[in-house]
């Protein structure tokens, strides 16, 4: 992958150069271009993409080339993360941000006043353990996690993050292996379309009052529909949820002793992420995505995402924990039964 990206980078620099000066080596130009076209065909096959017309296909190819260029620039900026071809390489930055980075609450001020209106308790985590150097719920527990899913083209990351944490709580406390419904949250938590984003306090309040039915009773469609919760009869509830203190050690302790933590992150530069520790600092981090912290290492947080297992490190991203590139420690929540 790295080798290929270097090849493509050379090609892109070549194109850029070609605008400013006469094309001197048309042979190498053709071979690099055909390499990109080859990569694009492979990309289409890997991700099952097809386009309804030649114009559309050629438009998507140009977007693909732009995204490879951005991936190369990010590879340049990062010391440890790798960027390259993902399922998002044929969509524009705007499309990506609209669908995947559109949480309704994006400024700290509005979030803080929002939080005051919820029933979340800001409890202190007892300093009873020294958190280990590394942790991974998949290996160390507590409890189990269901397989990684793909939210598709619906901005429902928040609902998936909520089911992940609540399922983990049922596994820890009642030894239950269940898949809970995201679709119920998309349809029922708001009076508006839950595919347009949502947020933890609203969703956890809903799970506390009404509860969630299972995935097989209320399956995921990835589209907003009429709420059907009143037709269901068995709900899994929580007793409450905590807005964890804005402190790395407290979050580590909560994770190790009590399970998965829901978290607000900034995913604007995640589209072409393929592996490694993400360490690029957006200057003004914003809150635009919900995910789950399931572990950490000496210098990173291990984040579980909902873009399928083909994205990132089998569906996960590791994020440098010494940087400002997420708002991780501020917007972290944990439900309890």
Ligand X SMILES: *[C@@H]1O[C@H](CO)[C@@H](O)[C@H](O)[C@H]1NC(C)=O
Which parts of this chain interact with ligand X (CB under 6 A)?
Answer: 9, 72-73, 76, 110, 113-114, 117, 146-147, 149, 177-179
Q: Which of 174, 166, 264, 258 has the alpha carbon at shortest distance from 208?
A: 166
Q: Which of 155, 151, 190 has the alpha carbon at shortest distance from 309?
A: 151
Q: How far is the CB of 181 from ligand X (least distance, A)?
A: 11
Q: Which of 231, 154, 228 has the alpha carbon at shortest distance from 184?
A: 228
Q: How far is the CB of 8 from ligand X (least distance, A)?
A: 10
Q: How far is the CB of 9 from ligand X (least distance, A)?
A: 6
**Closer to ligand X by Cβ: residue 12 or 207:** 12
- SS3 letters across 267-297: CCCCCCEEECEECCCCCCCCCCEEEEEEEEE
Instruction: Indicate if the alpha-carbon torsion angle 206, 185, 336, 213 is positive or negative.
Output: positive
3-class DSSP assignment, residue 231 = helix
- Residue 307's DSSP bridge partners are 150
Q: Which of 40, 83, 44 has the alpha carbon at shortest distance from 61?
A: 40
Q: How far is the CB of 160 from ligand X (least distance, A)?
A: 11
**Closer to ligand X by Cβ: residue 23 or 176:** 176
**Closer to ligand X by Cβ: residue 10 or 129:** 10
CA 23 and chain centroid, separation? 42
**Closer to ligand X by Cβ: residue 197 or 252:** 197
Q: How far is the CB of 247 from ligand X (least distance, A)?
A: 24
**Closer to ligand X by Cβ: residue 76 or 230:** 76
Contact between 11 and 36 (Cβ < 8 Å)? yes
């Amino acid at each position: 992958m790295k080798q290929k990206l270097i090849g493509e980078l050379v090609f892109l620099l070549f194109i850029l150069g070609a605008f400013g000066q006469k094309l001197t080596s048309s042979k190498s130009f053709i071979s690099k271009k055909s390499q990109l076209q080859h990569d694009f065909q492979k990309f289409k096959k890997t991700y099952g993409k097809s386009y309804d017309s030649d114009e559309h296909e050629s438009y998507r190819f140009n977007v693909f080339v732009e995204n490879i260029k951005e991936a190369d620039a990010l590879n340049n900026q990062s010391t440890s993360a790798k960027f390259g071809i993902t399922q998002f390489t044929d969509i524009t930055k705007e499309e990506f941000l609209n669908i995947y980075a559109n949480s309704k609450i994006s400024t700290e001020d509005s979030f803080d006043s929002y939080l005051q209106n919820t029933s979340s308790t800001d409890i202190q985590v007892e300093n009873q353990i020294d958190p280990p150097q590394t942790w991974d719920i998949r290996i160390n527990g507590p409890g189990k996690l269901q397989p990684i899913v793909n939210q598709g083209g619906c901005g429902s990351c928040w609902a998936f993050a909520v089911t992940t944490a609540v399922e983990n709580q049922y596994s820890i406390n009642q030894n239950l292996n269940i898949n809970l419904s995201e679709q119920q949250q998309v349809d029922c938590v708001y009076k508006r379309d839950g595919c347009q984003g949502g947020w933890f306090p609203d969703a956890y309040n809903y799970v506390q009052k009404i509860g969630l039915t299972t995935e097989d009773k209320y399956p995921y469609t990835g589209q907003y529909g009429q709420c059907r919760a009143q037709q269901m009869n068995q709900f899994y509830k929580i007793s409450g949820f905590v807005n964890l203190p804005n402190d790395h050690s407290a979050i580590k302790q909560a994770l190790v002793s009590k399970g998965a933590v829901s978290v607000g992150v900034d995913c604007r530069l995640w589209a072409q992420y393929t592996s490694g520790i993400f360490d690029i600092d957006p200057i003004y981090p914003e809150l635009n995505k919900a995910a789950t912290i399931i572990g950490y290492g000496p210098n990173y947080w291990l984040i579980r995402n909902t873009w399928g297992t083909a994205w990132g490190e089998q569906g996960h991203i590791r994020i440098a924990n010494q940087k400002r590139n997420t708002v991780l420690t501020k917007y972290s929540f944990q439900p309890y039964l």
